Structure 1
Amino acid sequence: MNNGERTGAVDRTREWGDAIVLDGVTPGCWPLRHTEFDGPPSSGKSERREFGQLLLDLYSLAGQTGIGEFESAFFELLHQHLAFDAAWTGRATHAPDWPVLHCSFLHRLPRSFFTDWKSVRDLDPLARRTLGAFGKAAIISIVAPDIPNEFRDWGAKYGLAQLMCVCALDRRFGLTTFLSVYRHSLTQPFTNDEADFVENFIPHLAAAIDLNRSFHITRTQHASTSCAGICDRFGVLHYADAGFHHVATTEWPDWDGKRLPVVFTEHLRRRTNEPYVGVHISVRIAPIAGLFQLEAGARSPIDILSARELVVLRLWGEGLTYKQVAQKMAISPTTVRHHLRNAYRKLGMSNKAQILRVLNLGGPVSVASES
């Protein structure tokens, strides 16, 4: 972050940190391609049919691709309907004075693009013009006389001559979906018709991103879990099914349904590979394309066990001897006994029958996950 940022921005940076950025090309291999431009689209029934086909293809992509894969695919689809050379999309929270990015995806741009943008974001006229102006496209030329010199230099570094941005607000989670498209040519500004096009497109893009998250959860969540969501590293929800809020509020009664409590966010950042175990619930965490898939449920007694204790307990509960468990896990029989003693103590149990009843509450175990 540059040292010239306003005090409020610096404070917010400490709180939120850096956004996750995914790029659509290999770092260091940015192809500076120029899109052929035949002029603005004409109006008429054929254009409306093409837009309808675009939306049909967009929603189809949302259901067929994974998170991250969808963002890459929809840009290629958009190229068929709008001329542009590079683009940027993602989600942000519109703070009172400036948007705070949570995750974003670069198209035909290197990773350094986002890092450099952070140094000029307070001078970004597109960010200013779209702040709170949801659904209204902002268009600038990099050589316009009112463009700050530092921002002009940043744009020139990446060959950005014409810039257009539009945002849509999801009031459920307080998140803004933004789409910025860029051209390299100084003689091909974005037109009012193209602004109308992206203004009509942005709410569908926001909805398609939600569908993509929903389909991803449906494909990947455990069969026994009906309460799932997707958040970023700041704990802000990007998607949640109907049951997730109900389960979460059993643990955090005053939760507002948007940003997960600090205690969970701190766990997410420090111990991503471990489930969060609260007083009433447990939440499995799985990283996915810069975001995190969450599966929440009522806490089981075995949630208090370490991952290795749980594996030992389940293998032993399946009938393996100490020696067989030790061989399967590549540890000593003494270590197996140590883990079993700890498990009995934590669960407050004294015999194998009690253990077997508790194990029926859990799902399958993977020894590989214990490496």
Structure 2
Amino acid sequence: MLKTLTDCGDVVLNINTSAFEADAEVFQEQVLNQIDQVIGFDRAWWGIMSPTAAGFTLLSSYQANLPDSYVEKWQTCTGDDRLAMSVNDAPTRTVRFGTQELHSTEGLYEINADVGNKYALCTAYRLPGRDDDFLFLSLFRCGRSAAFDKSDVWAKQFLMPHVNLAWRHNLSRRQDHYAGAADASTVMSCVFVDLQFAVLDPPPRFRELVRSVWPHWCGPTLPEPLIQGLLNVPRGSAVRFARLGFTLKPAGGLSLLSISAVSALDSLTPRESQVAAAFACGQSYKEIARSLGLSPATVRHYLREIYAKLGLTDKVELANLVHHAPGRAEP
């Protein structure tokens, strides 16, 4: 329980410190640890939902002490989720459910009784620019714990505006961090993406880059060709469109999509890349042949193929391309 102004200030300070210091992958865990110290809960569900005619669509999900089966079962009965309906109807207001309310529909009973949830506190906030979608944080207590009381409702009501803003600041800061990381020479922009491939708070540079490939894109959902490309490669692998590479990686309950510059050199085979790099550095046919265990005639053949693929005509153009390729520092 928050007993004094000092308690309030300490918790808010710690939440905001996490916003500026924690990686997106651990931010939610750290914030929940802070909330647990003043409210106390057994399980938590933090994510993003969007209302539909039949119930709700889950756009992001982070579970604390909840199995994946909880979310899987929830997705089969979203129309029964009166807790989600309540916070959707009254955003920013903390809703308290006792056992009777939390088990009041067949769907709610099935997903909560199965894991022992008997009491809940939930608060939702609309997402900027996506007024139908909302960020939610549900805290649960099981049967061995006391029910949430009015002081718990007050504490969560007090903390949630800070949690909401800290979450948004963390995402924004992590976007800036990834763009300025060690591979900043190739990463041109980053953005966080939900489970339906919709972007959150895309920076202007991200919009500019996506529209350079798909001029009519307005968002928030990514262009369909890009979605299909990302689905067809392993997570963490780049999919290429024009001279841009798009890479999707897990980041907490969301994913981080980065856009990198792609060089024409990426069209070369590994052996062609070796020959191109050596020739661009001034090695002769014979020197390249000797270092790679090839004949001079084979090196000449590779160079002809390299020039054809890259649309080049001489060694100077090749050297300029190699030495100024994305990810390579200029000499």
TM score, norm. by length of structure 1: 0.72
How much has 1:278 moved relative to structure 2? Answer: 3.2
Matching residue's letter, 1:275: A
The residue aligned with 1:129 is 86
Q: What are the equivalent positions in structure 2 for 1:302-313 lying under 5 Å apart?
A: 302=264, 305=267, 308=270, 311-312=273-274
The residue aligned with 1:223 is 184
The residue aligned with 2:317 is 354
| 1: CA distance, partners of 2:47 / 2:272 | 39
Aligned residues: 317
| 2: CA distance, partners of 1:334 / 1:126 | 74
| 1: CA distance, partners of 2:276 / 2:154 | 60
SS at match of 2:47: strand
How much has 1:180 moved relative to structure 2? Answer: 0.5
How much has 1:139 moved relative to structure 2? Answer: 2.3
Q: What are the equivalent positions in structure 2 for 1:211-290 lying under 5 Å apart?
A: 211-221=169-179, 222-224=183-185, 225-271=187-233, 272-279=235-242, 282-289=244-251
Q: Does 1:183 align with 2:146?
A: no
| 2: CA distance, partners of 1:159 / 1:294 | 36
* Aligned residue among 66, 79, 89 for 2:46: 89
The residue aligned with 1:34 is none
Change (3 A) 1:332 1:92: farther
Q: Does 1:154 align with 2:111?
A: yes
| 1: CA distance, partners of 2:272 / 2:172 | 30
How much has 1:360 moved relative to structure 2? Answer: 3.7
* Bigger mean CA offset, 194-203 vs 73-82: 194-203
How much has 1:206 moved relative to structure 2? Answer: 2.5
Q: Does 1:165 align with 2:122?
A: yes
- Alpha carbons 1:312, 1:336 under 8 Å: kept: no
Change (3 A) 1:276 1:339: farther
- Alpha carbons 1:282, 1:296 under 8 Å: kept: yes
| 2: CA distance, partners of 1:241 / 1:300 | 20
- Alpha carbons 1:305, 1:343 under 8 Å: kept: no
Change (3 A) 1:344 1:192: farther
Change (3 A) 1:189 1:243: same
How much has 1:264 moved relative to structure 2? Answer: 1.1
Q: What are the equivalent positions in structure 2 for 1:191-202 lying under 5 Å apart?
A: 191-202=149-160
| 2: CA distance, partners of 1:244 / 1:112 | 35
SS at match of 2:216: coil
Matching residue's letter, 2:200: H
How much has 1:142 moved relative to structure 2? Answer: 2.9
SS at match of 1:74: helix
The residue aligned with 1:54 is 11
Q: Does 1:205 align with 2:167?
A: no
| 2: CA distance, partners of 1:339 / 1:292 | 40
Instruction: Please give the root-mean-square deviation of Cα atoms over the aligned residues, in Å.
Output: 3.5
- Alpha carbons 2:56, 2:78 under 8 Å: kept: no
| 1: CA distance, partners of 2:90 / 2:303 | 60
| 1: CA distance, partners of 2:101 / 2:108 | 11
| 2: CA distance, partners of 1:59 / 1:121 | 32
Q: Which runs of 5+ in 2 are unaligned?
A: none
How much has 1:263 moved relative to structure 2? Answer: 1.2
* Bigger mean CA offset, 268-277 vs 332-341: 332-341
Change (3 A) 1:200 1:304: same
In our comparison, the structure showing a higher alpha carbon Rg is 2
- Alpha carbons 2:276, 2:303 under 8 Å: kept: no
Change (3 A) 1:110 1:196: same
TM score, norm. by length of structure 2: 0.79
| 1: CA distance, partners of 2:296 / 2:227 | 37
Change (3 A) 1:333 1:179: farther
* Aligned residue among 295, 312, 329 for 2:258: 295
SS at match of 1:68: helix
Q: Percent identity?
A: 20
- Alpha carbons 2:268, 2:309 under 8 Å: kept: no
| 1: CA distance, partners of 2:28 / 2:299 | 46
Matching residue's letter, 1:172: G
| 2: CA distance, partners of 1:176 / 1:333 | 64
SS at match of 2:123: strand
* Bigger mean CA offset, 336-345 vs 131-140: 336-345
- Alpha carbons 1:277, 1:304 under 8 Å: kept: no
| 2: CA distance, partners of 1:334 / 1:96 | 68
| 2: CA distance, partners of 1:50 / 1:213 | 26
| 2: CA distance, partners of 1:336 / 1:199 | 71
